[in-house]
Structure 1
Amino acid sequence: MSTTADLDEIYQQYSGTVTAYLTRLSGSAELAEELMQETFYRAVKNIDRFDGRSSVYTWLCGIAKHLYYDSLRRRKPTEPLPEEIPAPYDFAENLAQKDQAMIAHRYLHSLEEPYREVFTLRTFCDLSHPQIAELFKKSEAWSRVTYYRARCMLQEAMKENQHEKE
């Protein structure tokens, strides 16, 4: 896997999905692009560490995740969420609507880790529970429970906001 052709093929195959993962994780297309480039740089630099026990995608997402958390430690805290965010209570149905999806993302980014990341990986990156478990080095049951709890937290927050509006 260390030939230039293999590395180019890996980049072509995974750069878009790694960028999408980082965009969902960070909420910033610009930061995602920057971190995606750094992810592939680190992958090429450390290709000898890839042991094949996980998929290439999972390995790349692991690198990307660590780079994202490193970037969080280096930046200033973000502004708090606005007090009044109009939100629907049916999260799944309203994700299709762009404005409602943005509100849902605000709630999503207010979740603590690992809930936010597990929900993001499952919902937006289409990772399976076994893949998520592999990425976190946890069990599949842990992935399922964490995703379920994150979903419940989001739905509850959005329901509360909806009831406050009424």
Structure 2
Amino acid sequence: MISVMPAPRADRASADATATAWALAARGGDPDAADHFVRALHADVLRYVTYLSGDPQLAHDLTQDTFARAFGSLHRYEGRASARTWLLSIARRAVADSLRRAAVRPRIADTVDWRTAVEGAQPRGLPGFDDGIALLDLLETLPDERREAFLLTQVVGLSYEEAAGFAGCPVGTVRSRVSRARAGLERVLREAEAASALAG
């Protein structure tokens, strides 16, 4: 499981500038720059699509789809936004398209209870896996806009300004959504701890 802790802001700004430079060089046809661009942003994209899609097993395919789309439109990328912000906007569209396709696809299973079968097929014992699933479950309790603001700033590590540009809303709105998301998560955790204490 990938760490959900964002890098310190100064390191992230430097990494963003470097990734953007690699994206621009890759646009010019430099294969080494393309490789560096993917390596620099792969973890961020994978983390983001995992939480947006709610499907850790599909996340690698969505990440691959995101980079395929990015390289298909790299000739139009001019570096006005950081490469990471640009790539995450592509990732969001990839997830949305995947969810739309899944909504119209018929579900077929050889078992009466397909949900139990899917849960039984989930990997176990991976470092950080259970914590990641717990966080995913907690995030599902949030309204969509608060969840996205929280993910962008606290998980992916965008600044509030970058998240505002990405979400198309004022910075104050992002701050408010993150604050309310934190309060909501804390409330759910307190309720779960209280229920656990009563059960114990």
Structure-1-length-normalised TM-score: 0.75
Q: Distance in 1 between matches of 2:30 and 2:71?
A: 10
Aligned length: 147
Tell me which amino acid in the other structure corresponds to 1:133: A
Tell me which amino acid in the other structure corresponds to 1:39: T
Question: 1:142: Cα distance to partner?
Answer: 1.5
Q: Does 1:132 align with 2:159?
A: no
1:117 to 144, 148, 164: 148
Mapping for residues 71-150 of structure 1, pairs under 5 Å? 71-76=98-103, 99=130, 102-150=133-181
Mapping for residues 11-50 of structure 1, pairs under 5 Å? 11-50=38-77
Q: Distance in 1 between matches of 2:30 and 2:140?
A: 38
Q: Distance in 2 between matches of 1:104 and 1:32?
A: 16
Question: 1:144: Cα distance to partner?
Answer: 0.8
Gaps of 5+ in 1: 77-96
Q: Distance in 1 between matches of 2:73 and 2:165?
A: 19
Gaps of 5+ in 2: 1-23, 104-127
Aligned partner of 1:157 in structure 2 is: 188
For the aligned residue pairs, the C-alpha RMSD in angstroms reads 2.4
Aligned partner of 1:92 in structure 2 is: none
Q: Distance in 2 between matches of 1:73 and 1:56?
A: 26
Q: Report the secondary structure of 1:54's partner residue.
A: coil
Which has the greater radius of gyration? Answer: 2
Q: Report the secondary structure of 1:75's partner residue.
A: helix
Structure 1 residues 115 and 57: alpha-carbon distance in aligned structure 2, compared to 1, 3 A threshold? same
Question: 1:164: Cα distance to partner?
Answer: 4.3
1:59 to 80, 86, 91: 86
Structure-2-length-normalised TM-score: 0.64
Q: Distance in 2 between matches of 1:112 and 1:71?
A: 20
Q: Percent identity over the alignment?
A: 31
